[in-house]
Amino acid sequence: MKILLCSNNYPPYPGRGEAVFTELLANQLASKGIEVAVINAPQRITSLIHWENGIHVYDMPGFDPEIIERLSKVGVSAKEIEQKIIARYQALLRETADVFEEVKPDILHTSSVLAFSSQIWPVAKKMGIKVVHTLCEYHLLCKNQEMFLNDVPCTELCSPCQVPMAKHLEHVKSIYALGAVSNNVLQRHLDHGFFANIKHQKIIPYGTPVNQTQNHIRQQGEPLNIGYIGRVSPGKGVTWLLEQVSELSVDNWLLCAAGNGDAEYIDKLKALYPKPKFTFPGFTNRDLFFSQTDVLVAPPLIEEPFGLVLIEALAAGVPVIASNRGGIPEVAEKSKGKIFLYDPEKPNDFKFLIERFIRNPEYLDKLRKQCRTVAIENFSVDKMCESYLELYQTVL
């Protein structure tokens, strides 16, 4: 069996959840003796072909969204920009077809096709390659991938999103089998006509390795280190989180919001929420972040498909407080009480949860080992990999 995995930002390029998933799956498949290669389209490329942990990675220049802004600033029209984008995608698909011809995989496994476009699926099918897709985001439904507009979640598709969706609906017919990270994200797509004719569908949660980083041991009287890590944006609930924490009835806490985002937005947050109570370190090593964090808060206002950071925190021995949006309740159900949910429309519930951690350091210490146990039992990389191997067998 030969598997070609598809990624937007495979290492050494920094990537989001789908890139982390692809790397973990690739390494686990290779450890089981499966022949694996990766096709990768990072926004900024430094090489054409490289090896990562013994895995052959084919790099090709992906589309950089910042190009749109730069072209607009120098007076290039919207129509010309659109033509340039289409030309880049077409060139990328030709390069992709060349890789298909060289690798000759039995299966193309995609997760995010944002860099390649959904046309990659019919191209693969035409060349006799079976396509397996991991549904882990909203790119097929929403141009900004969040289904979040004007600071509120979208309840229906807007006109700009409906035009490309029609093409996506046609392209998904080339997919043979589907793994979705949650029932929630799958159902949202089924409601809009996606994947209805795919016979082999399976819910396969993300997996993560156990992190043995030494946890911060909070002493009596020390402030609670509250952590957020991810994209710093309104849709991810960062503004909401800062507002609620600043209104807590107890003052014995510090909050670190790590991650990148719109520079202007982050500058505004820094001005409104200054040091030393609030820090915004930007991109941060996850091991270092979790070693300094007492409790993780995942506050998305969007319908989060899964929330990889939730299980990364558990694997590092860090309990989680999270909003009940999207697929997060499904992850919480498997966490055996180590992920504490709240409704963003009921902020007092969040404040109650966080203040309980502030007032009870012993409670926090008791949870740490249990968090890692839950990650091992329910969210292991091997368990995720075995589920995909079973899915692969259904299409061969």
Q: For 71-88, how does the pLDDT look when each residue is reduced to its tens digit (9 = 90+)? A: 777 777 878 877 877 788
Whether the Cβ atoms of residue 37 and residue 105 lie closer than 8 Å to each other: yes
- Domain parsing of the chain, residue ranges: 2-207+380-395, 224-378
Residue 47 has pLDDT above 60, yes or no: no
Residue 386: which of 136, 34, 105 has the closest Cα?
Answer: 34
Q: What is the pLDDT of residue 178?
A: 98
Place 335 in a pLDDT band, splitting at 50, 70 and 90.
very high
Q: What is the pLDDT of residue 117?
A: 87
Name the maximum alpha-carbon separation found in the chain: 65
The architecture of the domain spanning 2-207+380-395 is 3-Layer(aba) Sandwich (3.40)
Give the length of the chain. Answer: 396
Q: What is the pLDDT of residues 141-183, one digit of tens each?
A: 987 788 888 778 877 777 777 767 889 999 999 999 999 999 9
The burial of 150, by beta-carbon neighbours within 10 Å (0-12 exposed, 13-18 middle, 19 or more buried), is given as: exposed
Q: What is the pLDDT of residue 68?
A: 66
Whether the Cβ atoms of residue 326 and residue 145 lie closer than 8 Å to each other: no
Give mean pLDDT, residues 258-262. Answer: 93
The burial of 194, by beta-carbon neighbours within 10 Å (0-12 exposed, 13-18 middle, 19 or more buried), is given as: buried
- Through-space distance between the first and last CA atoms of the chain, rounded to whole angstroms: 9
CATH of 224-378, one of 3.40.50.2000, 3.40.920.10, 1.20.910.10, 3.90.1150.10: 3.40.50.2000
Helices (H), the chain: 17-31, 66-73, 78-103, 120-126, 159-171, 183-190, 238-246, 263-272, 286-291, 308-315, 328-333, 347-359, 361-378, 381-395
The domains spanning 2-207+380-395 and 224-378 adopt the same CATH topology? yes
Q: What is the pLDDT of residue 45?
A: 62
Residue 368 has pLDDT above 90, yes or no: no
- The owner of tokens 């880049």 is 88
